[in-house]
Amino acid sequence: MHRLLLNRDIYTDVLLEKLPAARRYVWIVTADIKDLHLDVGHGFEPLLAVLARLVERGVAVRLIHAKEAGPRFRAHFDEYPELFESELFERIMCPRVHTKAIVIDGVGAFVGSANLTGAGLGAKSEHSRNFEAGFWFDDAGQLAELMAWIDQLYLGEFCGNCRRRAYCPDPIDELQQ
Q: What is the mean pLDDT of residues 144-153?
A: 96
> Residue 104 — left, alpha, or beta (φ > 0 → left; ψ -120 to 50 → alpha)?
beta
Sequence-distant (6+) residues with CB within 8 A of 87 are none
Residue 61 burial by Cβ neighbours in a 10 Å radius (0-12, 13-18, 19+): buried
* Average pLDDT over every residue of 4-28: 94
The answer to whether the beta carbons of residues 106 and 139 sit under 8 Å apart is no
How far apart, in whole angstroms, are the C-alpha atoms of residue 49 and residue 71?
A: 16
Output phi, psi for 166, to 5 deg.
Answer: -60, -20
Length of the chain measured in residues: 177
Distance separating alpha carbons of residues 176 and 130, to the nearest angstrom: 35
- Asked whether the predicted pLDDT for residue 102 surpasses 90, the reply is yes
Cβ pair 93, 68 in contact under 8 A: yes
The pTM score is 0.92
CATH for the stretch 2-175: 3.30.870.10
Helix then strand then coil, in percent of the chain rounded to 5, is: 35, 25, 40
pLDDT digits (tens, 9 = 90+) for 104-146: 999 999 999 877 766 666 565 677 677 888 999 999 999 999 9
Question: pLDDT (tens digit, 9 = 90+) per residue, 44-92?
Answer: 888 999 999 999 999 999 999 998 888 888 888 999 999 999 999 999 9
Residue ranges covered by each domain of the chain: 2-175
Please give the pLDDT value at position 27.
Answer: 98
